[in-house]
Chains A and B, each alone.
Chain A
Amino acid sequence: MTMEIQIQNVSMTYPNGKQALKDLTLNLHGPSLIGLLGPNGAGKSTLMKLLVSALKPTSGAIRIDGAPLEKAEQRLKEQLGYLPQDFGLFDELTAAGFLDYMAALKNLKNPKDAVKESICAVNLKEKAKAGIRTLSGGQRQRVGIAQALLGNPSCLIFDEPTVGLDPQERIHFRNLFSQMAQDRLVLLSTHIIEDVQSVCDQLVVMNHGKILFAGTPEQLIKMAVGHVGVFWEQEAAWEQGLHITARVNTSRGIRCKAVADTLPAFVREEEPSLEDAYLYLISREVDQ
Chain B
Amino acid sequence: MKRFCLFRLEFGRLMRSRLAWLAVFLTVVSPLAGLILYKPAYADTMLSMYLANPAIAGGAAGGILFGVLTVFEFGRAEKARVNLLMDAAVSPLTMAWVRLVSLMGAALLTAGITMAVWFPVCQRLIGSVFGAGDFILAWLIFMGLALPLGILAGASAYQFTGRTDLSLVLFAAFACLSLTVWADDWQLCWLNPCVWALSDDFSNFRIFYSVLYMRLTWLTALSAVWAVSYLCIRRYGKNICGSFLWGVRRICRPAAALALLVCAGAAYAVQPMVDHENPDLTAMTFSQMPFLEEVVCFARSAQVVPNTAAGTVSGTASYHFLNTSGRAQTISFGINPGYKVSSVQANGKEVPFSVGDYQEYNEAMLEAEIPALEEVELLIKYGGFPREGRNTSVMQGGTEISKEYLCLENAILSPRLMNVAPDEGMYPASIEITLPGSMTVIPFGSGEAQKMSENEDGTVTWRYEHNGTGGILYAGDYVRQDIRAGGITIEFYYGRKHQSVMEQAKAVEAVQAVADYCTKHYGTLSFGAGGRLKLVQSRVSGGGYATDGASLLDEADFTAVNLSDADKGSIPGEVMIHELVHQWWGLGNMFDDTDETSPWSAEGLTVYTTYRIVSELYGEEYARENYIEQWQQEVKDYYLNFYVRNPQYLEKLPEEKQLEISGNLKQVRQYSEMPLKILKAQELTGGKEAMDQILHDLFNRELDPAYPYLTYQEFLDACGLREEDLNLA
Contacts and interface: CB of A to CB of B under 8 A. Distances in A.
Contacts of B5: 104, 107
B89 interface: yes
Contacts of B87: 54
Contacts of B729: none
Interface string B54-79: 00000000000000000000001001
Nearest to B98: A105
How many of chain B's residues touch chain A, expressed as a range?
20 to 34
Contacts of A74: 91
A102 B85 contact: yes
A266 interface: no
B84 interface: yes
Nearest to A76: B88
A56 B80 contact: no
B80 A54 contact: no
Interface stretch (A87-95, A186-194, A269-277): A87-95
A127 interface: no
B238 A56 contact: yes
Interface string A48-59: 010011111000
B80 A90 contact: yes
A169 to B, nearest CB: 20
Nearest to A52: B88
- A-side binding surface: helix, strand, loop or mixed? loop
Interface string B1-33: 010011011000100111000000000000000
Nearest to A14: B237
Contacts of A104: 5-6, 8-9
A258 to B, nearest CB: 40
B18 A92 contact: yes
B90 interface: yes
B435 to A, nearest CB: 57
B237 A93 contact: no
Interface string A78-100: 00101110111111110001001
Given A104-B9, A105-B9, A87 B237 contact: no
A268 interface: no
A101 B9 contact: yes
B86 interface: yes
B81 interface: yes
Contacts of B85: 82-84, 87, 102, 144, 147
B272 interface: no
B82 A88 contact: yes
Contacts of A15: 237-239, 242
A147 B86 CA distance: 10
B86 A88 contact: no
A77 interface: yes
Nearest to B87: A54
Nearest to B92: A54
Contacts of B238: 15, 56
Contacts of A105: 6, 9, 86, 89-90
A144 B81 CA distance: 12
Interface string B241-275: 01000100000000000000000000000000000
Contact of B89 (A55, A100, A102): A102
B618 interface: no
A106 interface: yes
A92 B16 contact: yes
Contacts of B86: 102, 105
B622 to A, nearest CB: 67
A53 B242 contact: no
A82 B88 contact: yes
Contact of B237 (A56, A88, A97, A107): A56
B6 A86 contact: no
A54 B82 contact: no
A55 B236 contact: yes
- B-side binding surface: helix, strand, loop or mixed? helix
Given A84-B85, A87-B85, A93 B16 contact: yes
A92 B80 CA distance: 10
B241 to A, nearest CB: 10
A56 B236 contact: yes
A53 B87 CA distance: 9
B245 to A, nearest CB: 11
B85 to A, nearest CB: 6
Contacts of A80: 88-89
B88 A54 contact: yes
A93 B86 CA distance: 15
A56 B13 CA distance: 31
Nearest to B86: A105
Given A92-B16, A92-B17, A104-B5, A87 B84 contact: yes
Interface in B644-658: none
A77 B88 contact: yes
Nearest to A105: B89
A147 B87 CA distance: 13
A67 B366 CA distance: 69
Contacts of A144: 85
Contacts of B16: 92-93, 97
A93 B80 CA distance: 12
A83 B88 CA distance: 9
B577 to A, nearest CB: 63
Interface in A33-86: 49, 52-56, 73-74, 77, 80, 82-84, 86
Nearest to A78: B89
Nearest to B2: A107
A49 B85 CA distance: 11
Nearest to B18: A92
A213 to B, nearest CB: 27
A77 B80 CA distance: 21
Contacts of A77: 88-91
Interface in A1-51: 14-15, 49
Contacts of B90: 77, 105-106
Given A54-B84, A91-B80, A106 B13 contact: no
A191 B6 CA distance: 37
Contacts of B246: 56
Contacts of A83: 85
Given A56-B237, A104-B9, A106-B89, A90 B82 contact: yes
A161 B16 CA distance: 29
B497 to A, nearest CB: 50
A237 B6 CA distance: 67
A101 to B, nearest CB: 6
Nearest to B76: A90
Contacts of A84: 84-85, 88
Which among B79, B84, B85 has the highest number of chain A CB atoms within 10 Å? B85
A227 to B, nearest CB: 38
A89 B84 CA distance: 10
B81 A87 contact: yes
Contacts of A100: 9
A88 B81 contact: yes
A86 B83 CA distance: 11
Given A15-B242, A84-B84, A104-B6, 5 more contacts: A14-B237, A52-B88, A54-B87, A74-B91, A105-B6
15 contacts: A15-B237, A15-B242, A54-B84, A54-B236, A55-B237, A56-B246, A77-B91, A80-B88, A82-B84, A84-B88, A86-B84, A87-B85, A92-B13, A93-B16, A104-B5
Interface of A: 14-15, 49, 52-56, 73-74, 77, 80, 82-84, 86-93, 97, 100-102, 104-107, 144, 147
- List the 4 shortest-distance A-B pairs measured between CB atoms, nearest first: A88-B81, A56-B236, A82-B88, A104-B9
